[in-house]
Structure 1
Amino acid sequence: MRIEVSAVGADGLVSFRCRAGTGAGVWKAEEPPEVGLRYSVEVDVDGEVGPRPAGAAAVRLDGTSVVLAGRWRVTEDGATYLEVAGSLVSVEVADGDTTVDGELVQVVAGRAAVRLFPFFT
């Protein structure tokens, strides 16, 4: 996902903008991010989530949580992802979930559960 850092807070918490909206997460790199710069990041949600039906792809803040909405993807080996505006977000589904590949869903996670891993191309 391509993001622009809008704020850097305590404990590596970063606020960002992307083409799907605004979000936040923990920066997972030795080099700290700089406000105003754009980065390509892999986004993972730490912990199990329970997808709920949603409309369009989006990223938004809701109090202390981040709401990620998009198309649910399940690989042949059972890995689960959320495709948000063309970017895959790695998520682990809660036991018993029956969401199927291709459904439009949203997941809600605490800001500290969203992890941002920058990579350089």
Structure 2
Amino acid sequence: MSAVGTDDLVSFHCSAGAGTGVWKSQEPPVAGQEYEVEIDIDGEVSPRSGGVAGMRLDGTSVVLCGLWQVMEDGATYLQVAGSPVSVEVADGDTTASGEVVEVVADTTAIHLFPSNT
């Protein structure tokens, strides 16, 4: 965790890049401490083809790029630097499993669930 802001927004760095999201734990995060987190995108997104694998900030949005995975049960994930990010796609999306795609989400839609607090 690189910085703890207001409204449970935190800035973070990981092997995939940098981002900002909403901390989803009753235990407040500590700046400078390392956490293992599950990242979910709250709300529907529309993936677009291409991009450079990783994660970056773009104003008030987080841009994630990776390998699109559609599971047998219909669940969708974005593999970013080897880690799955759970995403819900907008109605009518036809992105095929195995495509490299880019997803843009508002920082408040990025939810961080720590697993080691």
Aligned length: 117
Deviations 1:47-85 (A, max 9, x none): 000001123311000000000110000100000000000
Matched residue, 1:90: 86
TM-superposed deviation, 1:120: 2.1
Identity of aligned residues (%): 67
Aligned match of 1:67:
63
Instruction: Give secondary structure in 2 for the equivalent of 1:69.
Output: strand
TM-score, normalization by structure 1 = 0.94
Q: Which runs of 4+ in 1 moved over 6 A?
A: none
Aligned mates of 1:54, 1:11 — CA distance in 2: 33
Deviation at residue 105 of structure 1 after TM alignment:
0.3
Q: Where does structure 1 lack aligned partners over 5 or more consecutive residues?
A: none
- Structure that is richer in strand per residue: 1
Return the match for 1:10 from 6, 12, 35: 6
d(CA) in 1 for partners of 2:93, 2:54: 22
Counterpart amino acid of residue 12 in structure 1: D
SS in 2 for 1:39: coil
Counterpart amino acid of 1:102?
Answer: G
**TM superposition shift of 1:20:** 1.0
Q: After superposition, where does 1:8-87 map in structure 2 within 5 Å?
A: 8-87=4-83
State how far apart, in whole Å, the 2-side matches of 1:89 and 1:68 are.
Answer: 9
Q: Measure the CA separation in 2 of the matches of 1:61 and 1:89.
A: 16
How far off its partner does 1:13 sit? Answer: 0.1
Task: Give yes or no for the alignment of 1:102 onto 2:102.
Answer: no
Q: What value does the CA root-mean-square deviation take over the aligned residues?
A: 1.1
